[in-house]
Amino acid sequence: MSVILDASILATGWAYVLLAPYTKVEESFNLHATHDVLMYGLAPFQLHSYDHYIFPGAVPRTFNGSIFLAFISSPVIRLASSLGFVSRKFDLQIIVRLVLSTLNAIGLCLIRRAVHKRFGRLTGFLYAVLTISQFHVLFWMGRTLPNMFALLPVNIAAYLMLERAPQATRPSPSRISTAIALITGAGVIFRSELVLLLGPTVLQSLWKGYISFWDTVRVGLLSALCSIALTTAVDTYMWGTFPTPLWPEFSSIYFNVVEGKSSEWGVSPFHTYLSSLLPKLLLSSLPLSALGLLIDRRIREFLVPYGLFVLLISCLGHKEWRFIVYVVPAVNVAAARGARWLVSRPKSNLIGRLTFGIASAMILANFVAMAFFATTSIANYPGGEALALFNEKYPPGSTSQAPHVHISNLAAQTGASLFLQEYAPPFYPPSSLPSMLNSTSESEWTRYDKTENLALSALTARSEITHLISEASPSDLEVLGVKKSWREVKKIDSFDGWIVDWELLKGLKSLKGLGENGKAGLVERVWEFLRMRKSPKLWIYERK
């Protein structure tokens, strides 16, 4: 059963990668850094080809996660290539994301096994079910956000603090030391907000006597200094700032906190995490976790650092769900414990059957919400769809003139990644393009141009640009006076909301007045009560 539960967590994460293979702008730095490490290597003379020299972003970010991901993905890519599963460069993006999803699934499975050991088989089973029934963690754990690189060490730390015999009163000092080292390293290298989780964890461990003060200082200093040395060495080299050392997370703290630039992305009330974002992440696990906290002292002790972390990070003005994603696996432990209490009541009386029904309904509601979120998100990557369609329509040799396509900001932000630049260097396999062309002297077939802030009139004036992937509609082109220069090739629809068919609902309420054919027609249409609304978001244009 344990293997089946672990496999179900892994399979759900993989399914999200395969159903939504494209990415968003938040993932682009680490995704493109992983692309460049795979395609160019780490030799000094290759670094000038890296994407971050062209699009550096507001603050430098670490290459450590991308280098690690590329390193462990390389043998998987070679194996997949030898088995015939890799036929285009975009396949590498899917493999890289599957590898990252697998790593984070391992962290979740470790926590599940710790729950099984400490709280029993049924609680471990319910933990797996609750984890699968939630959307955000499993959908995003295969996406190259810095938070998803940090999630694995944080989850391993949670496993180390949780895993012990049911009646054991304390974890071993070595486990606490390792947990502190992991959270420290993740905070130094990937996400500085983890210091707000590290502080409560250390204070609780000292208060409970799990570890001595001097051991805490030794472990904390050693892990912090080693992590600073690692990220500084790697990122100074990758960003080319030598002899000035570069510690990206320190630059991020200075930019966002000291200079207060994070407020430019929006400021939310103090209660936002508790009143909005946590309920969205946890769904029915939130009330179930409250029950788990109430009935089990071990749960209260385990969740103290995570609760303090949420309160501390709430003091920062700019808030996003990914800043607190680390608490979801921990809160699910409490939710599984609460769910177990509900389903374990004797079924011989009404209360026992009622509590079982409540728990089952809450988990079912999770799955319904998860399906809703997943359906919405899968339909929300028009840039990736547009560039994939462009590559399909204009393969090498398909036109007399090699295409030069300009990719708009919206397209670049919604999936048009470097892995989709199939017909420009670097190629995978390396010899793929010359084999497609009549002349092996060609260095590229398609030029993919992501120059920012160019007006349509300026793009039209550049005669070398043969194609556009643009958010401007044909009517926009007409208003701007450039429609005569471009021919619409394809429009790409994307998610625009949900439609409730109230007329259908009225019909269902009045079945008595309908004949048999009318009743059958309404029953067949019952799934149309809630429909996704799509509208064109991007257009592919060809110069006339």
> Nearest-CA neighbor of 115 among 313, 292, 243, 255?
292
- Residue 26's pLDDT is what? 92
The residue length of the chain stands at 544
Asked if the model's pLDDT at residue 346 lies above 70, the reply is yes
Whole-number Å distance between alpha carbons of 396 and 398: 6
Asked if the model's pLDDT at residue 503 lies above 70, the reply is no
Cα→Cα distances 158→12, 35, 108, 114, 447, Å: 22, 31, 10, 9, 47
List all residues 6 or more positions away from 249 whose beta carbon is below 8 Å from its beta carbon: 62, 187, 188, 189, 190, 191, 192, 231
CB atoms within 10 A of CB 508: 15
Strand (E) or helix (H) holding 10 = helix 2-19
User: Edge-to-edge, what's the strand order for the sheet holding 404-407?
Assistant: 447-449, 404-407, 467-470, 530-543, 486-500
- In sequence order, what E strands does 146-252 have? none
- Residue 440's pLDDT is what? 38
Q: Which residue has the higher pLDDT, 270 or 509?
A: 270
Q: Which residue has the higher pLDDT, 490 or 259?
A: 490
Of 2-16, 404-418, 449-463, minimum mean pLDDT range: 449-463
- Residue 511's pLDDT is what? 52
Q: Most confidently modeled of 50-54, 103-107, 513-517?
A: 103-107
Work out the average pLDDT over 151-157: 97
Phi, psi of 533 (to 5 degrees): -100, 130
Q: Which residue has the higher pLDDT, 158 or 263?
A: 158
* pTM given for the model: 0.93
Work out the average pLDDT over 43-54: 90
- Residue 432's pLDDT is what? 57
Whole-number Å distance between alpha carbons of 92 and 38: 9
Tens of pLDDT, residues 366-385: 999 999 999 999 999 999 99
Residue type, 529: F
**CA-only gyration radius of the chain, Å:** 26
Q: Kindly state the DSSP code that residue 36 receives in the 8-state scheme.
A: H
Mean pLDDT (the chain, rounded): 90
Work out the average pLDDT over 131-143: 96
Phi, psi of 17 (to 5 degrees): -60, -45
Tens of pLDDT, residues 172-199: 999 999 999 999 999 999 999 999 999 9
- Residue 158's pLDDT is what? 97
Percentage of the chain beyond pLDDT 90 is 76
Give the pLDDT band (50/70/90) at residue 55.
Answer: confident
- Residue 265's pLDDT is what? 73
* Bridge partners, residue 495, by sequence: 534
Whole-number Å distance between alpha carbons of 118 and 114: 6
Percentage of the chain beyond pLDDT 70 is 91
Residue that has been written with the tokens 């209660």 in this structure: 271
Q: Which residue has the higher pLDDT, 432 or 85?
A: 85
Of 67-81, 227-241, 325-339, 525-539, minimum mean pLDDT range: 525-539
Asked if the model's pLDDT at residue 36 lies above 50, the reply is yes
Q: Coil, strand, or helix at residue 148?
A: helix
Work out the average pLDDT over 455-477: 93
CA 267 to chain centre: 22
- Residue 524's pLDDT is what? 53
Torsion of CA 241, 243, 245, 246, to 10 degrees: 0
Give the pLDDT band (50/70/90) at residue 122.
Answer: very high
Q: Which residue has the higher pLDDT, 308 or 501?
A: 308
Phi, psi of 223 (to 5 degrees): -65, -40
- Residue 441's pLDDT is what? 41
Phi, psi of 70 (to 5 degrees): -65, -40
